[in-house]
Chains A and B, each alone.
Chain A
Amino acid sequence: MQPLELSAIDLVAAVANGDLTAVECTQAALDRIAALDPGTNAFLHVDQASALAAAEAVDAKRAAGKPLGPLAGLPVGVKDALCTRDMPTTCASKMLEGYQPPYDADTVARLRAADAVIIGKTNMDEFAMGASNENSAFGPVRNPWDATRATGGSSGGSAACVAASMSTVSIGSDTGGSIRQPAGLCGVTGLKPTYGRVSRRGLVAFASSLDQIGPMAHSAADCGLVLETIAGHDPLDSTSLDEMVPSYTQMLEEPLAGIRIGRVPAHFGEGLDPEVAAAVEEGFRVLEAAGATIHDIDLPHAKYGVATYYLIAPSEASSNLARYDGVHYGHRTSEPCRSDAFDSPLVEMYCRSRAEGFGPEVKRRIMLGTYALSAGYYDAYYKRALQVRRLIRQDYLDAFAKVDLIGGPVSATPAFPLGEKTDDPLAMYLLDLYTVTTNLAGVCGISFPCGFTGSGLPIGYQLQAPALAEPLLLRAADRFQRLTEWHRRRPPSA
């Protein structure tokens, strides 16, 4: 039995039955990483010894007849934005190079408590700012479907490690599309849960009113399995929702008959690649075949989503990233700091440490956010963006009064060549067109494969659902995957 060819649900069952050991599963993942990751760069850190030790502990538990956790033996890659007490956590930034946090993120602690095996930390855009994974200070991730192309971002490593079956599932984070877009470009399934469904404690903060952790896997059912473990209230994250966590995997059987799915005609306008458009339209046919009905709807303020997002997210980031001051953790300049050009040696130390530690995109966003929040511009930019955010959320509330789900593209194009957009920050921002409004409204969304281009690149389909409607969202995506085989395709390199 090849552990990495199994779904997460089947792998966990095989470990529980004794058909596979956790050590066999972990070793298979480590072997595959050793073989494939030099060409992919999906991992920033792999700790063979601690992964195998965790797996041995699971096997020992089983041998002793103790009950196993719901994810026993499951190899998981974790985005390097989540704190791990036994592995470095760098956010793919020179600023945090070598930083090892004193505690585990809530999600990481829940995974460990469920007997999952964390095999390593995955590459990402620096501080999760980017849509191609090219902003990593440690090199881009290469798309397993075509090594000359980007994975998307910012959770590019988490998407690639699942796509290339280097781990069964992974954890990403999504502030404006950072789970769904790379899932789409890498041919995997990625879920952005409702804002607050998963605790953000120990997720290095980017934009606190938008950030959300979620699972990536080969199927919606596997995403549901992982969500059952990582979702739930955390008293130490006051924005985490104190709502019951349903058994997502037990709620997949009900058919889709009578479910209304919205289609936004404006999604199919200029800029959408024709092959993507055709595959996404075909996706609606599949859901129709599953019993859903399709209805054209409008999200009138969606066209302002990217502009709104690129005021709110950088504003929050400029505040959150103020903590990198060369004092508490991370990089500190080795310059003497005695220049007259600064108010004091302390201020000079701040300015130099931050200038040396942060990469160009992070600096750009801090600058943009600082500008939008500065005296004289606050009303014109930040406050106006918050007002438009309310209009965008209202669009969703109005739409969800008419339909149960909203379908459409996740990305306007399939995976693009590395380097194609790196010189044009604004062109990179516009890639977030189909995903940012989900975060602004705080609702949930999922991306899964709905076809391939003629040249063999995966195409993603996005479904969005109201807050806390993950059971329906996962059920619809699972139905889609029962009727199609796209999610079973694996890259030729894998």
Chain B
Amino acid sequence: MSLSRDDVAKVATLARLALSEDELAQMTSELTKIVGFVSLLEEIDTSNVEPLAHPLGTTNVFREDEPAPSLPVELAIATAPKQDGECFLVPAVLGD
């Protein structure tokens, strides 16, 4: 199957990637090729096969819900690109 430039632009929006027109064009041709290759899986009959998300059949692991020390705030935000000592700073979400 073939992907269009607009298909790829829509995926880029979902993936939160600002791609240039050149990147979109290149990505369209590369993804078409890769998706064509992985479509190889269509030839297998998977009608009665349960999906396997995890190799070793691990199950949920529970623990007591008890408060315990965690990373101090100042360490957790120290490497943020913008912060005010207590919070991460982001561009205004609601108007100016």
In the assembled complex, the Cα of A342 lies from the Cα of B18 at a distance in Å of 9
In the assembled complex, the Cα of A441 lies from the Cα of B57 at a distance in Å of 11
In the assembled complex, the Cα of A355 lies from the Cα of B27 at a distance in Å of 13
Chain A neighbourhood of B55, CB < 8 A: 195, 209, 389, 393, 439-443, 467
Chain A neighbourhood of B76, CB < 8 A: 102
- Asked if A366 CB lies within 8 Å of chain B CBs, one says yes
Q: Please tell me if the beta carbons of B27 and A364 are within 8 angstroms of each other in the complex.
A: yes
Q: Please tell me if the beta carbons of B27 and A363 are within 8 angstroms of each other in the complex.
A: yes
Q: Please tell me if the beta carbons of B49 and A355 are within 8 angstroms of each other in the complex.
A: no
Q: Please tell me if the beta carbons of A383 and B34 are within 8 angstroms of each other in the complex.
A: no
Q: Please tell me if the beta carbons of B34 and A310 are within 8 angstroms of each other in the complex.
A: yes
Q: Please tell me if the beta carbons of B51 and A383 are within 8 angstroms of each other in the complex.
A: yes
In the assembled complex, the Cα of A327 lies from the Cα of B91 at a distance in Å of 10
Chain B neighbourhood of A387, CB < 8 A: 44, 46, 49-52
Q: Is the interface of B mostly helix, strand, loop or mixed?
A: loop
Chain A neighbourhood of B8, CB < 8 A: 367
Q: Please tell me if the beta carbons of A328 and B49 are within 8 angstroms of each other in the complex.
A: no
Q: Please tell me if the beta carbons of A345 and B91 are within 8 angstroms of each other in the complex.
A: yes
Number of interface residues of B (CB under 8 A): 51
Q: Please tell me if the beta carbons of A386 and B78 are within 8 angstroms of each other in the complex.
A: no
Q: Indicate the member of A103, A235, A386 with the most B CB atoms within 10 Å.
A: A386
- Asked if B5 CB lies within 8 Å of chain A CBs, one says no
A 162-184 to B, binary, CB cutoff 8 A, 1 in contact else 0: 00000000000000000000000
Q: Which residue of B lies closest to A335 (CB)?
A: B18
In the assembled complex, the Cα of A439 lies from the Cα of B23 at a distance in Å of 31
Q: Which residue of B lies closest to A373 (CB)?
A: B14
Q: Please tell me if the beta carbons of A351 and B37 are within 8 angstroms of each other in the complex.
A: no
Q: Please tell me if the beta carbons of A363 and B19 are within 8 angstroms of each other in the complex.
A: yes
- Asked if A278 CB lies within 8 Å of chain B CBs, one says no
A 339-359 to B, binary, CB cutoff 8 A, 1 in contact else 0: 000101111111110110010
In the assembled complex, the Cα of A467 lies from the Cα of B23 at a distance in Å of 42
Q: Please tell me if the beta carbons of B14 and A349 are within 8 angstroms of each other in the complex.
A: no
Q: Please tell me if the beta carbons of A311 and B38 are within 8 angstroms of each other in the complex.
A: yes
Q: Please tell me if the beta carbons of B44 and A103 are within 8 angstroms of each other in the complex.
A: no
In the assembled complex, the Cα of A429 lies from the Cα of B38 at a distance in Å of 11
The 28 sampled A-B contact pairs (Cβ below 8 Å) are A101-B79, A103-B71, A194-B56, A304-B40, A310-B37, A310-B38, A325-B16, A327-B81, A327-B82, A328-B80, A344-B91, A346-B90, A349-B91, A355-B17, A363-B17, A363-B23, A364-B30, A367-B15, A370-B14, A371-B35, A383-B51, A389-B51, A390-B50, A390-B52, A425-B33, A439-B55, A442-B56, A467-B55
**Smallest CB-CB A-B distances: 3 pairs:** A442-B55, A386-B51, A332-B81
Q: Which residues of chain A have a CB within 8 Å of any CB of chain B?
A: 99-103, 194-196, 209, 235, 238-239, 241, 301, 304, 307-308, 310-311, 318, 322, 325-332, 337, 342, 344-352, 354-355, 358, 363-364, 366-368, 370-371, 374, 381, 383-391, 393, 425-426, 429, 439-443, 467
Given contacts A364-B34, A390-B51, 4 further A-B contacts (CB under 8 A): A102-B71, A354-B15, A384-B46, A393-B55
